[in-house]
Amino acid sequence: MKKKVVIGLSGGVDSSVAAHLLIEQGYEVEALFMQNWNDTVGLKSEECPFEEDVLFAQMVAKKLGIPFHFVDLSVEYRAKVIDYMFSEYEKGRTPNPDVLCNREIKFDVFLKKALELGADYVATGHYCQKETIIKDGKEIHRLIAGADNNKDQSYFLCQLSQEQLSKAMFPIGHIIKPEVREIARREKMASAEKKDSQGICFVGKVDLPVFLQQKLKAMKGQIIEIMPDKADEIIPKSDALAAISAPYQFKPEHGTVVGEHNGAHFFTVGQRKGLNVGGKKEPLFVIGTDVVKNIVYVGMGHGHPLLARKALFIPKNEVHWIREDLRPTEECERRYDIRIRYRQPLQKGTIYFKQEGLYILFDEPQRAVVSGQFAAWYDEGELIGSGVID
């Protein structure tokens, strides 16, 4: 009997071509469109992206001749992704909703809905690859970077488990984006020229402060500029891992008030836009925030010494292993390729596994290491594990 694959058909070109390839490979394919958001607060366009997306998805399903199903997961999405976002920003951290969406929605709630439809597997249009090997008589699922270096989305899946991967398929992971567009044109798909979605997963491009003000109040506070020569007072003198990975302890007396903001929790380290402070030779960048005192600390120029960090820390309870079989059983150190944000080129570094968690020491200092984001580590293109930066 044919294996049944339920494809998460979003209305975009990637999932459309993924569905087409599955049909070509002989699978029984059904489409499942999920509605995860129906609020337009903070959206940069008055148009609701959901209405257009569902129309495109229906047209593609009809063109391919496959059943089309619809499921509303907006309640689960708000509880598992958006409420988490609000909570993290309130603490002065910067979450990654796309990673959470994949772990909690696409490969959890959505996967369960697909299994209810009789699916053997669930497929998505992610640019990544899966390989299954046998080790010690047991199946191990490897999550491998996509063939298209410019579109590799393995980072967004860095929190998946072996159980989730066992049911996952990524039909376009072995090809590059221009080929995907060409296949869609050749098959005359409605989504062939549709622009890629941007912004928060399933929400769209938003004005973040406006979006966050649904739950977080705007509060006037000071913007304080810290000059580069103050860095020696703030950067720890010790080379101990705990010291060089700890948050910088900024104080108002370290700098000078240069402006006013509407809430420290609306800003993140490395941010340039939205400060509205003029008259500087070079752009100002956020180098730190204090949500308790409601202060945003800034530094001038890309090369400000307080923008770069040598190391970061991930607490033990925030460490996740895709390859559980490679988890260290005792304190040790290992070399890995590391990524701390989507599309960042892989960075060389050493991971020190300790009782309290793990420390990542980079070969080269990294710009804008942000608490709340995910660090993921790779070995020869395979994503091994990840964790939330503390």
Active-site annotation holder among 48, 101, 128, 332: 101
What SS3 state is found at 222? strand
Residues 152/128, Cβ–Cβ less than 8 Å:
yes
Q: Which DSSP letter does residue 289 get?
A: E
Residue numbering of the annotated binding site for ATP: 8-15, 34, 125
> Tokens in use for 42?
């903070």
* Tally of CB atoms within 10 A around 19: 28
168-169: strand order across its sheet: 68-72, 28-35, 4-8, 121-123, 168-169
Q: Select from 168, 162, 166 the least CA-distant residue to 320.
A: 162
Listed in order, strand segments (DSSP E) in the chain are: 4-8, 28-35, 68-72, 121-123, 128-135, 138-145, 168-169, 221-225, 256-261, 284-290, 295-300, 308-315, 319-321, 332-339, 347-354, 357-367, 374-379, 382-388
Residues in Cβ contact with 8 at an 8 Å cutoff, skipping those fewer than 6 apart: 15, 32, 33, 34, 106, 110, 122, 123, 124, 125
Active-site annotation holder among 48, 128, 158, 201: 201
Q: Which DSSP letter does residue 206 get?
A: B
Residues 169/145, Cβ–Cβ less than 8 Å:
no
Angle at 30 between CA 28 and CA 33, to 5 degrees: 160
> Tokens in use for 359?
């420390």
Residue numbering of the annotated binding site: 8-15, 34, 125
Checking DSSP bridges between strand 382-388 and strand 138-145, what pairing results, if any? antiparallel
Respond yes or no: is residue 332 known to be catalytic. no
| Catalytic residue ranges | 101, 201
